[in-house]
Structure 1
Amino acid sequence: MVQVQVTPDCGNAPRKQVLRDFSVAVVEHDTEALLSAVADDVEWDIVGQRVVRGKSDVAAALETAVGRRARQVVALRLDSIITHGSEGAVSSRIVFSGGSELRCCDVYRFGGHSKSAKIKRITSYWIEE
C-alpha cells in the first residue's frame, strides 16, 4: 500500500476530497475508483507523452502511468489541492522505491458546477527528479 501524506485543510471544499481520492487512485492503479470519478468523454493530456480520450483509454493508460511497470510507488505527497468553481489543481510528489521522485502538477476541469459533476479534462505536467 502507498503511504499518502496530505497537507491539512479546512475540509470545506468537497472537490478537494475528490481530487485527493483521484490522485491516490492513480498511484495505486485503482481503475474502479479512477473511472467512477471521470466523465465518459474524459480527456487526459499527459504533456509530452500522450493524450488519452474516453474512459476505456484512461483505464488502459493507467496501467502504464506513473511508471507502473518500471518502479514501485512507495509514497504520494499531496502538497497542495486547490479548487474553485469547476476547476482544480493538485501539486504532488510521487516517491518510488529507491528514492527517485516524480513531481506532478495536475490541472482538472469538472463537467459542471454541481457537487456530483465528473472530471471532464485533466492536464498533467510530470517531471522526473
Structure 2
Amino acid sequence: MTEIHGSGDCGNSPKNRFVQDVAIALETGQAMAEGFSDDAVWEGVADAPIKGRSAIAKALAAKTKPAAVAIEHAISHGKVGAASGVVTFANGQKRRFSHILEFTNTKANCVAVIKSYS
C-alpha cells in the first residue's frame, strides 16, 4: 500500500482536492477513470501523447507502485490546475514530479489534458 502525504493547499477547496487526487492517481497508478474526459490527453510520460480515457487507465495500471507519494502543492484557478511533489520507491530512490492539468470546465472536475514533468 502506498503511503500518501497530502498537501495543505486543499483546505476547503474541492477543486484543489481534485487536483491532488488526480496527481496521486497519476503517481500511484490508481486509475480514477471518472475524472478524465473520454478524449483526455496525457503528455510527457511516453514518446507520444497517450490519448483517451481507456488508454490513460491502461498506462496507469502498468505503473510501478511507489512506497510513498508526498504532494507539496495542489492548486487550481479557472480551467487549470497544478500539483507537485515527491515519489519515493521501495528501494529508497526519490523522483520529483509536476503535473499541469487542463479541465473541461471551470468546475475543475474533469481532466482534458495532463502535462507531466519529472
What is the TM-score when the length of structure 1 is the normalising length? 0.81
Which residue is equivalent to 2:112?
120
The question of 1:93 aligning with 2:70 is answered: no
1:32-76: CA deviation from partner (whole Å, max 9, x where unpaired): xx21111111000025643101011111111334xx2xxx41100
List gaps (5 residues or longer) in structure 2: none
- Displacement of 1:19 in angstroms is 1.5
- 1:119 and 1:105, CA in 2 relative to 1: closer, same or farther beyond 3 A? same
Which residue is equivalent to 2:18?
18
Distance 1:10 1:52 in 2: 28
**Larger C-alpha radius of gyration, 1 or 2?**
1
Contact kept? 1:13, 1:83, Cα under 8 Å: no
1:45 aligned residue (30, 43, 46)? 43
Supply the AA of the counterpart residue of 2:115.
T
Distance 1:24 1:81 in 2: 11
List gaps (5 residues or longer) in structure 1: none
Compute the RMSD of aligned alpha carbons: 1.8
Distance 1:57 1:125 in 2: 19
The DSSP-based 3-state class of the residue aligned with 1:98 is: coil
Supply the AA of the counterpart residue of 2:91.
G
Supply the AA of the counterpart residue of 2:113.
R
Contact kept? 2:73, 2:83, Cα under 8 Å: yes
Report the structure, 1 or 2, having the larger strand content: 1
Supply the AA of the counterpart residue of 1:121.
V
| Higher normalized contact order (CA 8 Å, seq sep 6+, divided by chain length) | 2
